[in-house]
Amino acid sequence: MGPVQVLVVGFDHAAFSGEILAEFTRLRQAGIVRLLDLLLVARAGDGAVETLAMPAGADAGLGGLAAALLGQPEGKEQTGADTAGDSVWSLADAVPPGSVAAVALIEHLWAGPLTAAIQKAGGAPLEETWLAPDDLAVLEALMNQRIEEELR
């Protein structure tokens, strides 16, 4: 499968717009990304994380995959891969106490062949990040400038 991104988005309240799910449907139909699962969580003031029911109209089965992947049974020691020395994260780091968040598992279908090609060529990832909005604006201005120069 292609690389899977975990997107955690905070909301002021538990209401969840169907517009976001509609956009995921469009992207899936275009073969760009696939929404593997969607989980709504609330974090109480004492830090406890609780899963929320999906809003009416959404697939009732949503959330199970993400909960199993990102959570563990209460009182159980963490099992799985040894994370010592690695950069790690958890939902507790991402969701502030007293807030609500949607957690999406998104498979980037388009990136599978690219990643395979990079690995086949022996490429090793050194850095990978997203541009900040300010830098994105600079990039857009530079691109517009280049287009203007080419049109002259």
Partner 1 sequence: MLLVPKQLRRSGMTGDVPYYGGRFTPAQAYAASHPSHPHPQPAAAPAAAPEADPLPALQQLLDTGVITAEEYQDLRARVNR
Contact, 66 vs 39, CB < 8 A?
A: yes
CB of 124 to partner 1, least distance (A): 8
The dihedral built from the CA positions of residue 16, 48, 76 and 91, taken in this order, carries a sign that is positive
Name the residue among 144, 43, 149 with its Cα closest to residue 97.
43
DSSP-assigned beta bridge partners for residue 102:
9, 40
**Min CB(94)–partner 1 separation in Å:** 9
d(CA 27, CA 2): 15
| Structure tokens, 41 | 């969580």
- Cβ proximity to partner 1: between 19 and 148 the closer is 148
Contact call for residue 48 and partner 1 (CB under 8 A)? yes
DSSP 44: -
> Segment contacting partner 1 (CB under 8 A): 12-20, 25-33, 54-62, 137-145?
137-145
Q: State which of residues 19, 134, 148, 150 lies at the interface with partner 1 (CB under 8 A).
A: 148
**Whole-angstrom Cα Rg for the chain:** 19
Which residues, 51 to 110, sit near partner 1 by CB under 8 A? 51, 67, 69-76, 78, 80-81, 83, 85-92, 108
Binding stretches for partner 1 (CB under 8 A): 3, 5-6, 41, 48-51, 67, 69-76, 78, 80-81, 83, 85-92, 108, 111, 114-115, 118-119, 123-128, 141, 144-145, 148
